[in-house]
Every structure is written in C-alpha cells, then in structure tokens.
Chain A
Amino acid sequence: MGELGVDHFLFLSAALFIIGMMGVLTRRNLLIIFMCVELMTNAVNLSLVAFGWGLNSLDGQAFAVFIVAVAAAEAAVGLAIIMALSRRQRTVDVDALRSLRD
C-alpha cells in the first residue's frame, strides 16, 4: 500500500508471466499457445519498463522497443508455420504433431 512503486508493476508482471506460462503448459491449441507466448513477452516488457522507471533510466524502454520489434518478426514467422502445419498436417493440436518424435 501507500506509494506506487516498482514492486506493484513487478508483481503484475510476474502474474501475467505465470498465467501465460500456465497457458503454454495446459492448452493444446497451437494458436492459443502462441498467444500465451505473446503474453509472456509482454510481461517481460512490463518488468523492463518498471525497472527503468524505478532507476530513472531509459534503457529499459529501449530494450522493450527491441523486444516489440523482434516479437513482430516472431509473430509473422510463427503464424506462417502454423498455417503451413494446418495445410500439411490438417491439425494444430500439439499432441497430434509428433512426427519428429516417432
């Protein structure tokens, strides 16, 4: 309570990251797993900006800008992979995609 500090944002970031992690661990739809990965990326962004805000530094925001750019590229490639999988394997269920293991 009291003053708004870095800890508030860090707790929010941790909560979002863990929710995203639980989504990755429990869901089977590849698209939802992808969205949860984006959520985890955003949680990391939030903690970076929070540390930069607490330390009066802009480096955290610069890192977050780079993370956003890389996440955009990752989204393009990842969604293209999902589309290719759907076209080739006829499924986006991660339990059914086991051709590398068998």
Chain B
Amino acid sequence: MPWDVLIFYLIAAVCVLSAAGVVVARNPVHSAIFLVLCFVNIAATFVMMGAEFLAVVQVIVYTGAILVLVLFVLMLVNPDDLPEFHAARPVQRYVGLLLGAILLLEVGAAIVTRSVSGEQGTATPDNIAAVGGNTQALGRVLYSDYLLAFEVVSLVLLVGVVGAIVLALPERLGERPSVARRGSISLSHPRGVDAALPEGRPAGETLIPTRHSTSPTRASGAVATGNDREVSAGPTPTGVVRDLVMTRDADAFGHMGDKR
C-alpha cells in the first residue's frame, strides 16, 4: 500500500473519531476541542489534495475564528441554561442512528457505483505550477470567473456583521452593561477625561459642566457613557471643551459640538 493512502487512512481515522467525539461528548467545551481536532485534520486532507490555500483558510477561519467564537459564547451562556446530557431523547437517538446508517449506505452505494467521471478541467498540476502555485491559480479563478460572487460575499459578510451586532444588543438600549464599563475611561466624563485634557492639567479639575448646569435636554450622543454622571451638553458655554475635543478626534466627539 502506498504511503499516501496510509497517511490518508490515519488522518481519516482521527477525523471520524474526533467528529464522533463532538457528538457524544458531555461537556460542550470538549465538543469544541474535538471539533478543532477534526477541522485541522480536514485541513490536512486539503493539503493532500493540493489545496494549500484552502487548508490555511480552513485553519484560520474555522479553528481560529469560528471555534473561538463558539467558546466565547459557551462562556457567556449561563451554565445553568445548558441542557443535561443524560436527559437526551432516546427515540430521537435511535431514529438518528437509523437514518444515519441508511444515508451512509445510500451515499456509499452512490460513490461505488458511479460511472460518470466528468470532463477533465485545465487545472492540471503542471498548469498550476506554471502560474506559481495553488494560491495564484485560485486567485486568478476567483478574480476572473467568480468576480461577481466574490463581491456579493463581501456584502454578505457586511450584513452578517450588522445582523450579529443588532441581535447581540441588549433589548433596551438604556440597560447598557454598566458594570463592565465602570472602570473604563470615559472621555465624556468630567473625571475620566485625562486623555482629553491638555498636558499639565490635573485630571480632577472639571472642565466639562456636570449636571448642576441647568439643562433640560440631555446630549443626543450621551448614551455612549451609560452612567448617571453624564455630561449634559445643554446651552452652557462649552467652547473650551469643544475646542479641546476637536483637536483630538473629531468623529468620536461630534455629538458634543452639535448643540451650540
């Protein structure tokens, strides 16, 4: 038996066993670790098929981004919310095993008995080596034949980011996680503005008028601070602050200057 077949069987065995570990592990963290092992082995099979770029993408995106995200969510979800493993559904388990066995038989029969081998493409190993390697060849394909799909994927990622942020926000915008922000530097807070103060000025000195300044309206952008000692940017003379702020970062403090 040639070496590459032996190596493939080794990789496939680890892959299938770790995938089974994902399903049967009691602890969700163990499932995630098994999934990392499985994904790395799938990347190894990609290397065996000459898809080096995709193997690296697999490792970076799946094990580096998605699985880390899964672990983050596992830590954020209350452990009391997780269902018990022992309360698994026996009927569903047997039905799942039966369906899996049937589907494996069907797919195996389809793989074994297939006769159409298709038309050979032009991406032979010699041609791929002529353009510099797998990454260069794949880049040529992605930026010529699949250019529109490539741009649409960027749109999909953008919408995904927006959707994730909207879904993960608290239900009411008022209840910000103020506990997590209590120790952070708040640039619009009178005592926390030492980053925005000019050099040499003590941080305790109040530059920004606090709540005793009579102002019925709160600043429109003051939701960013989340604590009750916010700046009330009313009709008080805040010219000093405005000038000082605008020399720093005009975009982040645009809400302070719009109530003149």
- B160 sits at the interface (CB 8 A): yes
What string of 1s and 0s marks CB contacts (under 8 Å) between B45-72 and chain A?
1101111011001100110011001101
Nearest A residue to B50 by beta-carbon distance?
Answer: A53
Number of interface residues of B (CB under 8 A): 92
A2, A62, A91: the one contacting B83 at CB < 8 Å is A91
- B185 sits at the interface (CB 8 A): no
**CA distance in complex: A16, B39 (Å):** 11
Residues of B within 8 A of A14 (CB): 104, 107-108, 111
What string of 1s and 0s marks CB contacts (under 8 Å) between A2-15 and chain B?
11100111111011
A3, A36, A90: the one contacting B78 at CB < 8 Å is A90
Q: Do B19 and A74 touch across chains, with their CB atoms under 8 A apart?
A: no
What string of 1s and 0s marks CB contacts (under 8 Å) between B78-90 and chain A?
1011110001110
Q: Do B157 and A73 touch across chains, with their CB atoms under 8 A apart?
A: yes
With A76-B160, A80-B164, A95-B83: A88-B171 Cβ-Cβ less than 8 Å = yes
What string of 1s and 0s marks CB contacts (under 8 Å) between A82-97 and chain B?
1110111011110110
Q: Do A61 and B66 touch across chains, with their CB atoms under 8 A apart?
A: no
Place the interface of chain A in its size category.
Answer: 35 or more
B23, B62, B167: the one contacting A42 at CB < 8 Å is B62
Residues of A within 8 A of B161 (CB): 73, 76
Q: Do A26 and B93 touch across chains, with their CB atoms under 8 A apart?
A: yes
6 more contacts with CB within 8 A, not counting A38-B62, A72-B66, A77-B167, are A3-B5, A23-B23, A45-B54, A46-B46, A55-B121, A58-B141
| A-B complex: 8 closest residue pairs judged by Cβ atoms | A73-B160, A57-B121, A25-B96, A80-B167, A93-B83, A23-B23, A76-B164, A53-B49
23 contacts between A and B (CB under 8 A): A10-B111, A18-B107, A19-B20, A19-B100, A22-B96, A28-B88, A31-B31, A32-B31, A39-B22, A42-B42, A46-B42, A49-B51, A52-B51, A52-B123, A56-B123, A61-B54, A64-B51, A66-B150, A69-B156, A73-B156, A76-B163, A83-B168, A93-B82
